[in-house]
Amino acid sequence: MLTGTGKASYALNFLEESLGLVSGSLGSEGVARDLVDELGSVMRGSAPKDSTTPSLEARAASLLSELEKSAIEDDGFFVRKARWPGAAPLAVCLTHDVDNIERPMEHILRIRDRFDKADFQKALKGRLSLYDNIELIGKKEAAQGYRSSFYLLSANYPLEKVRPAARKLNARGWEFGLHGDFGTHDSEPEMKKAVTKLREGIGIRPRGLREHYLRFDFAESWRVMEGAGFDYDSTVGNNDRLGFKLGLAAPFHPPDESWRPMRLLELPLSLMDTTLWGYLKKGEEEGFADVMRSMAMVEEVEGLFTLLWHQEAVRMKGGRIYWRILEELGRRKELFVGTGLEVARWWRAREVPLKVANDRRLITLGARVPEGLTLVLKTRPGTKVKVTSGSVRSRVRGGKSERLVTPSGPAFKLEVSR
């Protein structure tokens, strides 16, 4: 990360990290003032000009194309770090808020039509809990080779009821984070109390969180979360409408009050199940199409699609389309699908600096290159490339050919001929 303060320097650092550029390569003259201003204002809570699409990602992507074009003209090549392991075109973060694990029988009887008949009969006989689906979700996700994050409220249900499932799944890679209770989003003492309660209740220290009801205060919440030692948050998203609250769809370090990037990462929330049914009253087919459309928009910008699917809903009409979403994802072997913590860890590991030396001919990476890190290299026709301690393959994306370079050891270097 670049040091320095001020909104412009924050924005340059943000773009350099987000786009995976050579360290220190982005000068303020290269970035449009209104992009800096818009990035700055969304970080302070203003809506982007267009929040129906990941519009700020699209602006960053067009900046990337300009940088690429001029670098190829000037130097004969352009190199950047791909966003995701193996240069996956899209990352998907699967998350589940755990608001409830049971409901009174009167409630179940009232809404019996929402459940599958066999499930309902079993529930009547006390042989099935319709609202505690943590293990069921774990089983279905495992069948596709996926794992996800569950966020638990610390005060809404007895944590000992969740503890056995949480510990079992956590040992196999599922994440258990905090679903921030009321009062935590703007109070560090309350937040720390909730963390302690959760840690004591399930024996797992939460590393990530999402606030209940997506409660978020741009002047307070990130600071509170940073102070409580979280690795990441995934609260910033819309309740009542589809779209991208910040116009962003990739992890980033939020700014503190003097525009220094925090250690905390934000994984912006892309879509929540209850928006489809509760707020927009969509049917299942329509809701499913919305999920796919929203994911495709994120793929356009090589982004992160963070999906919130309440665990209590997966046996219900509407909620049960989660299984179809998993199947759909399962057909796309090239995607990076993971828990919030896996995404956050990857994003931090990817921050290893990309360096260019020897009159812009020699490309290297800092120490501790994470497995899967891939460089995207574009060159003028006829340019020769030599890789030490790594491999190269070609790919055509968006009608253009590019080379993907994968380092395989600390001696990695990439040399580009003139």
Contact residues toward Zn ion (CB under 5 A) are 97, 99, 212
- Residue closer to Zn ion (CB basis): 311 or 406: 311
E-strand spans in 216-366?
A: 232-233, 265-266, 271-272, 304-308, 336-338, 354-357, 362-365
Q: How far is the CB of 179 from Zn ion (least distance, A)?
A: 6
Q: How far is the CB of 156 from Zn ion (least distance, A)?
A: 9
- Residue closer to Zn ion (CB basis): 74 or 217: 217
Q: Which residues have a Cβ under 8 Å from the Cβ of 64 and sit 6 or more positions away? A: 19, 80
- Residue closer to Zn ion (CB basis): 179 or 253: 179
DSSP-assigned beta bridge partners for residue 322: none
Q: How far is the CB of 127 from Zn ion (least distance, A)?
A: 27
Q: Check the CA dihedral 259-63-242-38 and report its sign.
A: positive
Backbone Cα Rg of the chain: 22
Q: How far is the CB of 29 from Zn ion (least distance, A)?
A: 45
- The values of phi and psi at residue 308, to 5°, are -105, 120
- Residue closer to Zn ion (CB basis): 185 or 212: 212
- Residue closer to Zn ion (CB basis): 97 or 132: 97
- Residue closer to Zn ion (CB basis): 99 or 231: 99
- Residue closer to Zn ion (CB basis): 83 or 212: 212
- The strand pair at 385-388 and 91-98 is best described as unpaired
Segment holding 416, helix H or strand E: strand 413-416
- The DSSP string of 243-278 is S-TTS--S-BPPB-TTSPBPS-EE----EEHHIIII
- Residue closer to Zn ion (CB basis): 147 or 212: 212
Q: How many CB atoms lie within 10 A of CB 113?
A: 9
In this structure, are residues 185 and 196 in contact, taking their beta carbons and an 8 Å threshold? no
DSSP-assigned beta bridge partners for residue 117: none
Q: Which residues have a Cβ under 8 Å from the Cβ of 17 and sit 6 or more positions away? A: 1, 252, 253, 351
Q: How far is the CB of 241 from Zn ion (least distance, A)?
A: 18
- Residue closer to Zn ion (CB basis): 97 or 233: 97
* Coil, strand or helix at 415: strand
Q: Check the CA dihedral 319-324-327-331 and report its sign.
A: negative
Q: How far is the CB of 297 from Zn ion (least distance, A)?
A: 25
Q: How far is the CB of 209 from Zn ion (least distance, A)?
A: 11
Q: How far is the CB of 307 from Zn ion (least distance, A)?
A: 15
Q: The tokens of 38 are what?
A: 């818009």
Q: How far is the CB of 138 from Zn ion (least distance, A)?
A: 19
What is the number of the residue whose Cβ is closest to Zn ion?
Answer: 212
